[in-house]
Structure 1
Amino acid sequence: MLKLENLSTPDPKVPLKSLSANFEAGKIYTILGRTGAGKTELLRTLIGLDPISEGAIHLDGSDLVSTPIRAREMAMVYQQFINYPHLDVLDNVAFPLRRKKLGKALARAKARDALAIVGLAGFETRLPSELSGGQQQRVALARAIVKHARILLMDEPLANLDYKLREQLREEFPRLLHENAEGIILYSTTEPAEAMQLGDELIVMHEGRIVAQGDPAALFDSPPSVDVARVISDPPISICAGEIRDGALLFSDGSGAGATGLTLSKDGPVQIAIRPDALTIGGDIFATVKLAEFSGSDTIVHLQLPFGEAVMLVDGIHEFHPGNPLDIMLDPTALLLFSHTGANITERTD
């Protein structure tokens, strides 16, 4: 088990702040956060590239902080690929094995297997300068895979690859763990869908802290705070000011939000979170289109409502023009409620 205890770092840009977490063998942990949340700093600290100011890192009870980088049983893949320009693809991938004094023939055989995993069979004799950016990233990924490291750290490793290839490589990660039962994969991303699809457990980071950890579906259904709800939602969740008054849920303009399926707490200010699929066309809420954009086979519509701004997800490709009026319906069963301090206070009726 990899264990972090009150881990902090002195990095002036994105310091880690009292991180504590356990990572069990045989699992993929996706680390989700916006740019600047501390994801890269966490991975760099684990592998030993950045120092710590407080706390501890242990692997199976052994102190990692005092362990040299090469002895940490870790491999890291960066978003910005790093390859050796003077070596061909095969020797780039075989390099860490040769450094460990593995025989040349065996090292190259293992390197060929790793290249096949990332879809680069047949590229063995090319130099990095003869490859595209995506192909160079795959070489770096193969070099990390071939090490068969106990812990594989991946810092947005598929960001520069096309959609189809990302899907193919994601399917390989569970197989890598199947072949290495003691292995742990930590995979950072800014994409909520990728984090929830890939991870056995999801870790959400915000401003250098771990703000949530658990089952991806459970965290999506019930984010513990408004910060987690914002990070985990794509298209973005909309947060509107409101209040509970005399047993009714009201938006800031005094209109009723509806409370079907909700148990309302005591009177007072609340933050009302509206998921994009909670809004549909055809209802009694007047809205004005601010912006529309396409995402895959869906249309994301940014709306101005009487009580604030919100985002609506519409199935299919549709044209909406800025300034167009729409009548919108809100599904109150899809709302989330947060306190004025940001804690989730949503209570569902049976």
Structure 2
Amino acid sequence: MIELHDVTKRVGQVTHIKPTTLTLEPGQFNVLLGATGSGKTSLIKLMAGLDPMASGRIEMDGQDVTRLNTQKRRISLVHQFFVNYPHMSVFENIASPLRVAGMTKSEIEGRVEEAADLLQLRPMLNRRPSELSGGQQQRTALARAIAKDSRAVFLDEPLANLDYKLREELREQLPDLFAGRGAVVVYATSEPEEALMLGGKTALMDDGRVTQFGTTSEIYRNPENLSAARVFSDPPINSAAVTIMRSEAELAGAAKWALTGAAADLPDGLYTVAIRPHRVLPVRSGAAEIELKGRVIVTELSGSDSSAHFQMGAEAWVSLASGVHPYRIGEDHVFYMDPGNCRYFGQDGRLVA
């Protein structure tokens, strides 16, 4: 278990990590999710002992490690870049931390072979990193982390530089690779989809602070605040100011709709409505019947999905839908949303319905 108690990090007069208290447990993935610059890597470096803290305390398994160096914390760190020793074979790369730990030759061989089998590296054990593909090099770095039997394993966007197919394969394998090893696994990513696939728990990060922490699927369904909703959406969540009066919401100059459920009980006033792009469709479908007219400004096709960025008054929204749709840039298009998929936030940014 890793426990952070009001930890902060400063560089000069700039605060990179604001006071953060967090408990990360073994037996599941702990995901740090946030955009580039949100503080994910900075927080990992604090936990790994690579950067000094400005204040606070870190405990691992009840031991105060705040002032311990990286080696004494018994951790492993895998970066997005392939960090292997170029003059060593794959076997020696995986074995290197075990030799430092003073293990016997038979122990080292057993652990290296076990990790190599898990990551399908046994045929490459005698090769040098320069003879491996990018995916094989990253598998070597992961095998070294597994073989080391660390108290904590930090994976800092480890799949970012791999091609799509390799990312998909390793993403599926990672939870099983670390299952039952007793280590706290912390995985940093900027991709909401990756966090959902890995499961476990997620800490949403924005501007050097954790905005929400909990079970990944629950946070996705029920973000506590607008910042969390924005972090956990790709493409970015659509949001706009709305006026609520007598159980009806009005998005100025664009649409009106009746509120249902908990939203129907909201007091009259100003709020922010938010809805994810895949809930805004280019065709009427089921309960998606509230019309939103906007001028198409950008279109994208990705695999079997197509997206349209459209200007609706002062707001720029995104629709993400399956299939190919006949958008024309610069022309108006009618989109449809189901108000049952809307979330409402108060003026302080907190979720109210």
Query: What's the TM-score once normalised by structure 2's chain length?
Result: 0.91
Kindly state the Cα deviation for residue 65 of structure 1 after the two structures are TM-superposed.
1.0
Matched-pair contact (CA < 8 Å) for 1:235–1:300:
no
Task: Return 104-113 or 149-158, whichever deviates more.
Answer: 104-113
Is 1:298 aligned with 2:305?
Answer: yes
Q: Name which of 321, 324, 327 aligns with 1:317.
A: 324
Matched-pair contact (CA < 8 Å) for 2:7–2:58:
yes
Pairwise mapping of residues 69-80 of structure 1 onto structure 2 (< 5 A)? 69-80=70-81
Between the aligned partners of 1:11 and 1:298, the Cα distance in structure 2 is 42
In structure 2, the CA distance between the partners of 1:104 and 1:324, relative to structure 1 (3 Å rule), is farther
Query: What does the per-residue CA deviation read over 1:86-115, in whole Å, with 9 as the maximum and x for residues that have no partner?
Result: 111111111111112223454234223323
Query: Where does residue 244 of structure 2 map in the other structure?
Result: 244
Pairwise mapping of residues 56-71 of structure 1 onto structure 2 (< 5 A)? 56-71=57-72
Query: Where does residue 214 of structure 1 map in the other structure?
Result: 214
Between the aligned partners of 1:133 and 1:329, the Cα distance in structure 2 is 43
Size of the aligned set, in residue pairs, is: 345
Between the aligned partners of 2:93 and 2:121, the Cα distance in structure 1 is 13
Pairwise mapping of residues 195-214 of structure 1 onto structure 2 (< 5 A)? 195-214=195-214
Query: Where does residue 286 of structure 1 map in the other structure?
Result: 293
Task: Return 98-107 or 88-97, whichever deviates more.
Answer: 98-107
Q: Name which of 333, 337, 344 aligns with 2:351.
A: 344
In structure 2, the CA distance between the partners of 1:200 and 1:302, relative to structure 1 (3 Å rule), is same
Matched-pair contact (CA < 8 Å) for 1:15–1:41:
yes
Query: Where does residue 116 of structure 1 map in the other structure?
Result: 117
SS at match of 1:9: strand
Kindly state the Cα deviation for residue 205 of structure 1 after the two structures are TM-superposed.
0.7
The amino acid across from 2:317 in the alignment is A
Query: What does the per-residue CA deviation read over 1:59-103, in whole Å, with 9 as the maximum and x for residues that have no partner?
Result: 222101122321212111011221111111111111111112223
Kindly state the Cα deviation for residue 132 of structure 1 after the two structures are TM-superposed.
3.1
Pairwise mapping of residues 162-181 of structure 1 onto structure 2 (< 5 A)? 162-180=163-181
SS at match of 2:11: coil
Between the aligned partners of 2:257 and 2:313, the Cα distance in structure 1 is 12
Query: What does the per-residue CA deviation read over 1:142-196, in whole Å, with 9 as the maximum and x for residues that have no partner?
Result: 111110112111101111223333333234333344332x321111100101112
- Structure 2: where are the runs of 5+ without partners? none
Matched-pair contact (CA < 8 Å) for 1:223–1:344:
yes
SS at match of 1:94: helix
SS at match of 2:81: coil
The amino acid across from 2:6 in the alignment is N
Pairwise mapping of residues 31-42 of structure 1 onto structure 2 (< 5 A)? 31-42=32-43
Matched-pair contact (CA < 8 Å) for 1:270–1:339:
yes
Kindly state the Cα deviation for residue 339 of structure 1 after the two structures are TM-superposed.
1.6
Query: Where does residue 187 of structure 1 map in the other structure?
Result: 187
- Structure 1: where are the runs of 5+ without partners? none
- Over the matched positions of the two proteins, sequence identity in percent amounts to 36
Between the aligned partners of 1:113 and 1:291, the Cα distance in structure 2 is 50
Query: Where does residue 271 of structure 2 map in the other structure?
Result: 270
In structure 2, the CA distance between the partners of 1:254 and 1:77, relative to structure 1 (3 Å rule), is closer
SS at match of 1:10: strand
Between the aligned partners of 2:4 and 2:330, the Cα distance in structure 1 is 51
Query: Where does residue 5 of structure 2 map in the other structure?
Result: 5
Query: Where does residue 92 of structure 2 map in the other structure?
Result: 91
In structure 2, the CA distance between the partners of 1:191 and 1:105, relative to structure 1 (3 Å rule), is same
Matched-pair contact (CA < 8 Å) for 2:199–2:217:
no
In structure 2, the CA distance between the partners of 1:286 and 1:179, relative to structure 1 (3 Å rule), is closer
Between the aligned partners of 2:88 and 2:114, the Cα distance in structure 1 is 18
SS at match of 1:224: coil
Query: What does the per-residue CA deviation read over 1:36-72, in whole Å, with 9 as the maximum and x for residues that have no partner?
Result: 1111111111110000111100122210112232121
Matched-pair contact (CA < 8 Å) for 2:255–2:292:
no
- Could you list the structure 1 runs, at least 4 aligned residues long, displaced by more than 4 angstroms after superposition: none
Query: Where does residue 133 of structure 2 map in the other structure?
Result: 132
Between the aligned partners of 1:166 and 1:254, the Cα distance in structure 2 is 41
State the superposition RMSD in angstroms.
2.0
Between the aligned partners of 2:104 and 2:43, the Cα distance in structure 1 is 34
The amino acid across from 1:316 in the alignment is G
The amino acid across from 1:185 in the alignment is V
Is 1:151 aligned with 2:152?
Answer: yes
Between the aligned partners of 2:180 and 2:245, the Cα distance in structure 1 is 57
Is 1:142 aligned with 2:128?
Answer: no
Kindly state the Cα deviation for residue 27 of structure 1 after the two structures are TM-superposed.
2.0
Matched-pair contact (CA < 8 Å) for 1:93–1:146:
yes
